[in-house]
Amino acid sequence: MTVNISKPSINIREKLSELDKPSGIAGEAVLRADSVQEIRNSIGAGRKNLIINGGFDVWQRGTYTTATNVSSGFQSDRWKIAQSATTGTIQDLGGSVRLEVTGAGTGTLRMYQPIEDKGLYKRISGKTLTFSAWVKSNTANARIECFKGNGVGWDGWDSAHTGGGAWEKLSATYVLADISSLTDGAFSVQVGLDGYNSADVALAVGDYCEIKDVQLELGSVATDFEHRSFGEELQLCKRYYEKSFAYSAVPANGSSATTFATSPNVSLGVLLWSGPNARNIAYEVEKRVTPTVVRYGNSSGYWGYINAGGSPSGSDNTPIFHANIFCQTNTPKVLVVTNQASGNPLWSISGHWTAEAEL
């Protein structure tokens, strides 16, 4: 038996056109994107990098474009130095940083960033996180790692360089344990010359580590580094450290009892002796906590004024420096300048300050 089956004809062109669904401007941008970061930017997915100043662009505390002896503390904003049994240098290479051993020993030379909590620890507990950085080194002791304080310690979340002298992208992915009970700043990322789980290692003179594009993000993939503008990165850093000096000026006192190191950026009109004898200066960015304020002025750190009395001194602009013009911490939003120098109003008070609220 022969069975004939017939089907209605179709227009292939029409059917294909039906597959051409409108994707919109955002959809077209996603289709044209060359990287995950471009896709995130195009759809407004928000910030992914939990690290601040991961590109080592911001250096408010000083100029380190030549190799400078490291000290235990902050040089590049938000990055603290840890060293033991060795001496070394730090250098800003413009978009990356270099640590180099100058005195051999069995110890460590690394940088770390304590991460602020503010509810973050609870949100990321139990989640998959990926920590990554580009590293160049001549030793296999160059590595990235994470640390959980409060007695939790190191947990093997680690990736080491081969020591071959080329740039390598190191990454480590880990399901984070519950860190919601840790104190603020106890969770940190670390990168530099160190042993597994931060065991001391033998470091020789000339061992070095160059670091750039440090990133900590949710997920199991080390995606492209999230580049933020310098202005945005600087504002993020100012939550932890801010200064009245120009960005390029290193905070310092004057070289004599009658001079400032640089022209003061702070200049107050009149400051009374009483009722009230204080003036507030608002920080550009609210601090993490009430900061530690340091006053800078003449060689003794004193602020200056032009005249004490009922009116300004006219054309005389030579400052008079006095120990009892105080620049004091008050709240995370403002610092207070007080006049305890004279029974008269002080005119044209000037000086400098730094405010630190680091972890």
Kindly report, residue by residue over 281-324, the tens digit of the pLDDT. 999 999 999 999 999 999 999 999 888 776 665 556 788 899 99
Q: Any idea which of 153-157, 262-266, 335-339 has the lowest mean pLDDT?
A: 153-157
In terms of domains, do 224 and 96 share one? yes
Question: pLDDT-based confidence at 187, cuts 50/70/90?
Answer: very high
The encoded tokens of residue 213 equal 């594009």
In terms of domains, do 285 and 209 share one? no
Question: pLDDT-based confidence at 149, cuts 50/70/90?
Answer: confident
Place of tokens 């120009």: 246
pTM of the full predicted structure? 0.86
pLDDT of residue 259: 93
Q: Any idea which of 11-15, 24-28, 270-274, 287-291 has the lowest mean pLDDT?
A: 24-28
In terms of domains, do 346 and 214 share one? no
Buried b / exposed e over 176-190, threshold 16 CB at 10 Å, is: beebeebeeebbbbb
Mean pLDDT across 37-66: 82
In terms of domains, do 232 and 325 share one? no
Q: Where are the beta strands (DSSP E) in 78-152?
A: 80-84, 87-92, 97-103, 105-114, 128-137, 142-148
- Find out whether 233 and 307 touch, Cβ atoms under 8 Å: no
Mean pLDDT across 108-117: 97
pLDDT of residue 156: 66
Mean pLDDT for all residues in the chain: 88
- Judged against a pLDDT cut of 90, whether residue 41 lies above it is answered with no
Task: State the DSSP code for 74.
Answer: B
Give the three-state DSSP class for 42.
helix
The helix or strand, by DSSP H or E, that contains position 68, with its residue range, turns out to be strand 68-69
- Judged against a pLDDT cut of 60, whether residue 155 lies above it is answered with yes
In percent, the amount of the chain with pLDDT more than 90 equals: 67
Task: State the DSSP code for 160.
Answer: E
CA–centroid distance for 110 within its chain = 16
pLDDT of residue 133: 98
Specify the CATH number for the domain of residue 136.
Answer: 2.60.120.260
Q: Which residue has the higher pLDDT, 318 or 111?
A: 111
Report the amino acid identity of residue 15: K
In terms of domains, do 198 and 274 share one? no
Q: pLDDT tens digits, residue range 213-266?
A: 999 999 999 999 999 999 999 999 999 999 999 999 999 999 999 999 998 877
Place of tokens 């360089």: 161
Mean pLDDT across 78-105: 97
Q: Where are the alpha helices (DSSP H) in 165-304?
A: 230-238
CA–centroid distance for 100 within its chain = 21
Q: pLDDT tens digits, residue range 19-32?
A: 555 555 555 555 56
Residue 45 lies in a domain: no
- Judged against a pLDDT cut of 70, whether residue 65 lies above it is answered with yes
CA–centroid distance for 81 within its chain = 13
Sign for the CA dihedral angle at 268, 273, 276, 278 comes to positive
In terms of domains, do 191 and 311 share one? no
What's the domain range around 207?
Answer: 68-238
Q: Which residue has the higher pLDDT, 47 or 219?
A: 219
- Judged against a pLDDT cut of 70, whether residue 164 lies above it is answered with yes
In terms of domains, do 130 and 230 share one? yes
Domain count, the chain: 2
Place of tokens 């603020």: 184
pLDDT of residue 44: 47
In terms of domains, do 224 and 286 share one? no
In terms of domains, do 278 and 213 share one? no
Q: Which residue has the higher pLDDT, 22 or 337?
A: 337
Question: pLDDT-based confidence at 43, cuts 50/70/90?
Answer: very low
Q: Which residue has the higher pLDDT, 30 or 102?
A: 102
pLDDT of residue 1: 59
Distances in Å between the Cα of 188 and the Cα atoms of 78, 183, 203 are: 11, 11, 23
Last residue of a domain, one of 238, 255, 278: 238
Q: Select from 297, 353, 292, 355 the least CA-distant residue to 322.
A: 297
Give residues with Cβ within 8 angstroms of 4, minimum separation 6.
none
The encoded tokens of residue 351 equal 């000086």
Q: How many CB atoms lie within 10 A of CB 284?
A: 11
Last residue of a domain, one of 195, 221, 238: 238
Which phi-psi region, left, alpha or beta, contains residue 277 (left: φ > 0; alpha: ψ -120 to 50)? alpha
- Judged against a pLDDT cut of 70, whether residue 162 lies above it is answered with yes
In terms of domains, do 74 and 144 share one? yes
Task: State the DSSP code for 44.
Answer: T
pLDDT of residue 181: 93
Largest CA distance in the chain: 122
Distances in Å between the Cα of 215 and the Cα atoms of 28, 116, 133, 226, 347 are: 28, 15, 6, 8, 49
Mean pLDDT across 162-178: 96
- Judged against a pLDDT cut of 90, whether residue 36 lies above it is answered with no
In terms of domains, do 291 and 226 share one? no
Mean pLDDT across 162-174: 97
In terms of domains, do 288 and 226 share one? no
CA–centroid distance for 234 within its chain = 8
151 backbone dihedrals φ, ψ, rounded to 5°: 85, -5
Report the amino acid identity of residue 201: V
pLDDT of residue 347: 83
